[in-house]
């Protein structure tokens, strides 16, 4: 998965403005692109990071002009996050290029191979959900994974 993600990002050519960002900063930028108006606490939950870590990332991204932080009008203790409009356009265009690159690669697969990818995607999503549940590791969801026999190759 990591190799596929890296190859897709490399082929889509990351915008120069984003090339200096760390992996964690980039993950936060992509999350804010998908969920404009997300709070710092919600972002921390989504990224499975400590809220103070996300606050630090937000501060860095605000200082570099990627993210705009506004006060929630209903609760002034909550900061809402969004991308600056010019950054949103660049991040959206980069995402579109990644989708195009992936679609092009998938167009080279046979119908049977596409079915295998679809089935594998569903299984990987289930695994990610189980590992990302509040019960993991060691809780009921994680324990259910451990109880299964290992796959023999």
What is the C-alpha to C-alpha distance for residues 25 and 31, in angstroms, rounded to an integer? Answer: 10
48 found inside a domain: yes
What pLDDT, in 10s, does the model give residues 40-67? 999 999 998 999 999 999 999 999 999 9
Quote the number of domains for the chain.
1
18-44 in b/e form (b: 16+ CB < 10 A) is: beebeeebbbbbbbbbeeeebbbebbb
Please report the sign of the dihedral spanned by the C-alpha atoms of residue 115, residue 96, residue 98, residue 104.
positive
66 found inside a domain: yes
In this prediction, residue 3 carries a pLDDT of 87
What is the C-alpha to C-alpha distance for residues 73 and 97, in angstroms, rounded to an integer? Answer: 35
pTM for this model (two decimals): 0.72
118 found inside a domain: no
140 found inside a domain: no
134 found inside a domain: no
153 found inside a domain: no
Is the pLDDT at 19 greater than 70? The verdict is yes
Binning the chain into helix, strand and coil, the percentages to the nearest 5 are 65, 10, 30
137 found inside a domain: no
Please report the sign of the dihedral spanned by the C-alpha atoms of residue 117, residue 120, residue 126, residue 131.
negative
In this prediction, residue 61 carries a pLDDT of 97
**Structural domain of 18:** 2-108
Is the pLDDT at 14 greater than 90? The verdict is no
CATH code for the domain of 79: 1.10.10.10
In this prediction, residue 64 carries a pLDDT of 93
7 found inside a domain: yes
Is the pLDDT at 133 greater than 90? The verdict is no
């Amino acid at each position: 998965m990591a190799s596929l993600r890296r190859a897709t990002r490399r082929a889509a050519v990351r915008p120069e403005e984003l090339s200096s960002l760390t992996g964690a900063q980039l993950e936060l930028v992509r999350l804010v692109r998908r969920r404009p108006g997300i709070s710092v606490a919600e972002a921390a939950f989504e990224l499975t990071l400590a809220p103070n870590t996300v606050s630090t990332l937000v501060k860095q991204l605000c200082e570099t002009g990627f993210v705009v932080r506004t006060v929630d009008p209903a609760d002034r203790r909550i900061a809402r996050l969004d991308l600056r409009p010019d950054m949103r356009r660049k991040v959206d265009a980069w995402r579109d290029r990644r989708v195009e690159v992936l679609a092009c690669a998938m167009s080279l697969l046979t119908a049977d191979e596409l079915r295998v990818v679809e089935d594998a995607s569903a299984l990987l999503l289930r695994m990610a959900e189980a590992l990302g549940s509040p019960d993991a590791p060691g809780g009921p969801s994680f324990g259910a994974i451990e109880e299964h026999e290992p796959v023999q190759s």
